[in-house]
Structure 1
Amino acid sequence: MPTGVHLRDARQQLFDAAERVLLRDGPNGLTSRAVTDEAGCAKGVLHRHFADFDAFLTDLVLDRAAQLEAQADELRESAGAGTVTGNLTAALSTLFGPIPVAIIPLITFRDELRTRLRHARPGGGIAILAEATTAISAYLAAERERGRIAADADIDSLTLSLVGGGHLLFTDRDDPGRPTTEAVERFVTAAVAAVQRRPV
């Protein structure tokens, strides 16, 4: 009986397949059968690599959160270069890319997944949003050290405003597609206006 194609890197191919299903069908359409069908392999392949489907989803989220860490490093290293609004606009567009935005409701809707993520790492229960929060906070702190953000700026509150507002901007939309760069920049400009030390 055929069992589908052989997967050279089964974990990565299953993760990629899950992303495609998630983007196309949303969290409710993401099942183990949908993932293995999308990957073109037998259902048993997933269970050979993961204890159960929630274990698979946990590793998927942690893998994608880890990818955001590299983007967070790039954002922190951009401090002092370019403009604050430009850097934050680009960062929000990346941190709230299609895959992270699709993963957030998956975490929200699956209690067991949140529980496993919390056990896997500090702040893991809100992985993706936690990565975005860490990235923005570290960047703002670096800009404050360079004098481009006011010394008395409340970094924690500003970070929450940028991450929360950015999340809404990219997810709570009546029209299809992502917000324009101009719309994101307008939001960022308004959010940081009170704490900028000089025009950026």
Structure 2
Amino acid sequence: MPTGVAMRDAREQLFDAAERVLLRAGPAALTSRAVTEEAGCAKGVLHRHFADFDAFLAGLVLDRARRIGEQGAALRAAAGTGDVIGRLADALTGLFESVAVAIVGLVTSRDGLRARLRDERPTGVPLLTDAAAVLASYLAAERDLGRLAPDADVDVLAPTLIGAAHLLFADRTGPPPGADAVRRTVAAVVGGVVRLQ
């Protein structure tokens, strides 16, 4: 690998490379060598920015969790417009067709990573917990606008949606579920509380 070549936004390039490796080959293939080879840089670049590989992986997980929060702001801003079930189905598909399922597998397979993440996030599984908070916020906004029943328990509905969608998308070896399957799942979870479309 070349040395002495400056990388712009090295952390982000390394995170993107790790995501590609993770999606292509799964958590077991994610090593510092695989990441730096994918990024086209010397192995030392990763270690200049992170204390060790688990610190790098924790940074990756927290960065992807931050992105979910940013996407959540757009979802909440859309409250009051469009089809509630359709918006939820699209949000869940966007989440689980991305790197989320692979990152959950990564977190559950690496003890050192889980321990490091506990310093930042003492409860829940990062990404899934963040996504549930985003959905709860959106559902609360829809409830406040009268598009959900006033007694809709968004703090139960949101993680239920996350769990159901995670099960739909968890098989990384087969084709992802179709839009109709995701929509049916969402409708089964929230259909009873949706008042206006």
Normalised by the length of structure 1, the TM-score is: 0.91
Equivalence for 1:190: 188
Distance 1:60 1:146, change over 3 A: same
Q: Which residue of 2 aligns with 1:165?
A: 164
1:76/1:139 contact within 8 Å kept: yes
Are positions 1:177 and 2:190 aligned together?
Answer: no
In 1: Cα distance, 2:192 partner to 2:98 partner:
30
Question: 3-state DSSP class of the match of 1:117?
Answer: helix
Q: Which amino acid aligns with 1:152?
A: D
What residue number does 1:155 align with?
154
SS at match of 1:151: coil
The match for 2:138 is 139
Q: Give how far 1:160 is off.
A: 2.1
Cα drift, residue 122 of structure 1: 5.2
Alignment map for 1:75-94 (pairs within 5 Å): 75-94=75-94
Q: Normalising by structure 2, what TM-score?
A: 0.93
Structure 2 counterpart of 1:188, which letter?
A: V
Q: Which amino acid aligns with 2:140?
A: A
State the match for 2:120 in structure 1: 120
1:13 aligned residue: 13
Which secondary structure state, in structure 2, belongs to the residue aligned with residue 64 of structure 1?
helix
Partner letter of residue 91 of structure 1? A
- 1:2 and 1:86 mapped to 2: Cα distance? 48
State the percentage of identical aligned residues.
59
Displacement after TM superposition at 1:6 (Å):
3.8
For the residue of structure 2 that corresponds to 1:48, the secondary structure is helix
In the TM superposition, residue 170 of structure 1 has moved relative to its aligned partner by 1.2
Structure 2 unaligned blocks of 5 or more:
none
What's the offset of the Cα at 1:5? Answer: 5.1
- CA shift in 2, pair 1:186/1:163, >3 Å: same
Shift of 1:197: 2.0
Larger mean Cα displacement after TM superposition, 1-10 or 110-119: 1-10
Q: Give the C-alpha shift of residue 121 in structure 1.
A: 3.8
RMSD of aligned C-alpha atoms?
A: 1.8
3-state secondary structure, aligned to 1:177: coil
Contact 1:136 1:159 (C-alpha < 8 Å) held by counterparts:
yes
Judged with a 3 Å threshold, the aligned counterparts in structure 2 of structure 1 residues 2 and 149 are, in CA distance, closer, same or farther, namely: closer
- Over residues 88-136 of structure 1, what are the superposed CA-to-partner deviations in whole Å (9 max), with x where a residue is unaligned? 011111122321121111011112212211212454x511001111011
1:3 CA drift (Å): 3.2
Are 1:129 and 2:138 matched, yes or no?
A: no
Once residues 179 and 5 of structure 1 are traced to their aligned partners in structure 2, the CA distance between those partners, rounded to angstroms, is 43
- Please identify, of 108-117 and 53-62, the stretch whose mean Cα deviation from structure 2 is larger: 108-117
Displacement over 4 Å in runs of 4+: none
